[in-house]
Amino acid sequence: MANEDKFSKATPCEACPLRPLEIFRPFQHDELAFVANFKIGERSVDGGGTILSESQRSEHLFTVLSGWGFRYKVLKDGRRQILNYVMPGDMVGLQGTLMGEMQHSIEALSPVTLCVFKRSGLEQLYRQHPDLAYDITWIAAREERILDENLLSIGRRSALERAAYLLAFLYQRAETLQLFRGGRNALPLTQQHVADTLGLSIVHTNKTLRKLSGRDLIRWADRGCEVRDVRGLLRLAGWQGLGESKRPLI
Amino acid sequence: MANEDKFSKATPCEACPLRPLEIFRPFQHDELAFVANFKIGERSVDGGGTILSESQRSEHLFTVLSGWGFRYKVLKDGRRQILNYVMPGDMVGLQGTLMGEMQHSIEALSPVTLCVFKRSGLEQLYRQHPDLAYDITWIAAREERILDENLLSIGRRSALERAAYLLAFLYQRAETLQLFRGGRNALPLTQQHVADTLGLSIVHTNKTLRKLSGRDLIRWADRGCEVRDVRGLLRLAGWQGLGESKRPLI
DNA sequence: CGCAGAGTTGAACGCGATCAAGTTCCGTGG
DNA sequence: CCACGGAACTTGATCGCGTTCAACTCTGCG
């Protein structure tokens, strides 16, 4: 896949399109300066391409600048489980950077742009910017929290509840990133992705999504899902939503 | 539950029974001194007791010194999902400390002793000991990795594979902590715990465990599971095991 | 035009849930 | 001492959610 465009530095951190968003905590000047220096370039991957793959030892760490992707694992016989989705502002590759080897893969769902950070810069970050170090731990804890909720969902919720939870979850995340401004408010997934996230077969996923459509909670458009009633989805899933206030962006 | 015994400082860090274990990375003198000061006491909880509970705002952070426990979430109607188990050397309460509010509970499976750390000491740790800060992120990343594997298991493995995976996983963790020296090598669980971990009903869990017993992979003794053939369990689950080398202990 | 990927639908099957009853073990109190 | 009750485990019978198999439509694209 020759879709790499490494080390072009198109977007300087000072003009980061994400940082102004309400959801992210403001930066100190020196923090911004450090991160701008920590970033060594950008990389783009087109839809369907691989961002990181299992057993890989990456020397880089990334933050998603634009686009959607998903983290997943596969069993030897090909059964796939999607673990979580990645969206702008999410840091990826931390597990691999800290622990030596990736134990999951990440694939782009739409064209993705990544900020590339030098692995070695991380130690410097921990030494010179305790607040940023704290932020990184915070980011890891957030991922953990999301996985907890996901595990509850797959383990104990019915197919319909699971689907409702997932779509409400994705919608809310996209919403706080203002990803729906301008375009149509559709989540860029196929039903296969939904199936692999929920631990269901594609056939039953289809039937479940049609039930949600029947209740006017969603509408499945070409290669995507329009959420029409988040409240309804939340109620159906018995979930309060991920009520996030400010969070760090690195 | 009046089983608290706060702030008795029975075990000084200098004489920590866990630190000498091979699995933990060695400490520098100043690190040890810092942690000894970071620790403000010990707390014990007896089997079945609550270590931390959802929506609680704890001002403390803990490391398990001895005993077993588990992290779980429940849906409003009572369905319970166990997310992971906690064993000696595991840090608990980090999510709550960092993000303000616990979104899961932790219960003791056997009598548990915890090292208690002051929440406010964490900032100091990040400022003065970048290596320890790095360790904490590492610990969070490890938890994430475990949850990833768990999610794969519940989402895509069959009941028999799931059970094999879980028991091999717990056995391996206990093994590296030398928890079986002396006593019988039994995991202190009930079948209800296994069921709530695997996302299965108790009845089906029982039938599944009997199959594993029939193949001589395990033996279910009174209120616990003896693993007789880890290799067999690993093969059945199609899992390589968690091959951990040194890891941090705080 | 043909083909591949995505979505849809019906029919039959089966894994795991649910219902129902049992046993064993242990701690408690009469 | 035994009776009782509760918790954990066990087992068989039946039910149903979700899988699997098999087809079909629709769209975009070479």
A119 near B CB under 8 A = no
B245's CB contacts (< 8 A; 6+ apart) are none
Q: Say yes or no: Cβ of A223 under 7 A from any atom of strand C.
A: yes
* CB of A86 closer than 8 Å to CB of A106: yes
Q: What is the mean pLDDT of residues B43-51?
A: 95
- How many Å does it take to go from CA A51 to C1' C3? 29
**B-chain residues near A103 (CB < 8 A):** 145, 148-149
Confidence of residue B223 (pLDDT cuts 50, 70, 90): confident
- pLDDT, one tens digit per residue, over B72-130 is 999 999 999 999 999 999 999 999 999 999 999 999 999 999 999 999 999 999 999 99
- pLDDT, one tens digit per residue, over A35-47 is 999 999 999 999 9
Using CB atoms within 10 A of its CB, is residue A157 exposed (0-12), middle (13-18) or buried (19+)? Answer: buried
Residue B8 is classified by DSSP as: B
Q: How far apart are alpha carbons A169 and A176 in whole angstroms?
A: 11
pLDDT of residue B58: 84
The number of angstroms, rounded, from the C-alpha of A184 to the middle of its chain's C-alpha atoms is 19
pLDDT of residue A4: 42
> What's the first-to-final CA gap in chain B, in angstroms?
28
Q: Chain A: give the shortest CA distance to residue B120, in Å.
A: 13
Q: What is the mean pLDDT of residues B183-205?
A: 95
**A-chain residues near B73 (CB < 8 A):** 148-149, 151-152
- SS3 state of residue A63: strand
Cβ <8 Å between B144 and A140: yes
pLDDT of residue A222: 83
pLDDT of residue B8: 59
Q: Considering chain B, what is the average pLDDT of its residues?
A: 94
The number of angstroms, rounded, from the C-alpha of A172 to the middle of its chain's C-alpha atoms is 12
Q: B218-221 and B224-227 as β-strands: parallel, antiparallel, unpaired?
A: antiparallel
- How many Å does it take to go from CA A197 to C1' D8? 34
A 10 A CB-CB count for A123 gives: 12
Q: Chain B: give the shortest CA distance to residue A184, in Å.
A: 31
Helix (H), strand (E) counts: chain B: 8, 11
| pLDDT beneath 50, residues of chain A | 1-6
Count contacts between A and B (CB, < 8 Å). 138
A28 near B CB under 8 A = no
* CB of B139 closer than 8 Å to CB of B248: yes
Scanning residues 139 through 158 of protein chain A, those with a beta carbon under 7 Å from any atom of strand D turn out to be: 158
* CB of B92 closer than 8 Å to CB of B53: no
- pLDDT, one tens digit per residue, over B130-153 is 999 999 999 999 999 999 999 999
Q: Say yes or no: Cβ of A9 under 7 A from any atom of strand C.
A: no
Q: Which domains does chain A have, with CATH numbers?
A: 13-129 (2.60.120.10), 157-237 (1.10.10.10)
Cβ <8 Å between A75 and B103: no
Q: Chain A: give the shortest CA distance to residue B63, in Å.
A: 16
Tokens representing B96 are: 């709550």
Residue B186 has pLDDT above 50, yes or no: yes
Tokens 């928890």 found at? B179
A147 near B CB under 8 A = yes
CA distances from A96 to A102, A166, A218 (A): 4, 26, 36
Which nucleotide is the nearest neighbour of B198, by CA and C1'? C16
- How many Å does it take to go from CA B60 to C1' D16? 46
Q: How far apart are alpha carbons B131 and B117 in whole angstroms?
A: 18
A142 near B CB under 8 A = yes
Positions of chain C reached by protein Cβ under 7 A: 5-11, 15-20, 25-26
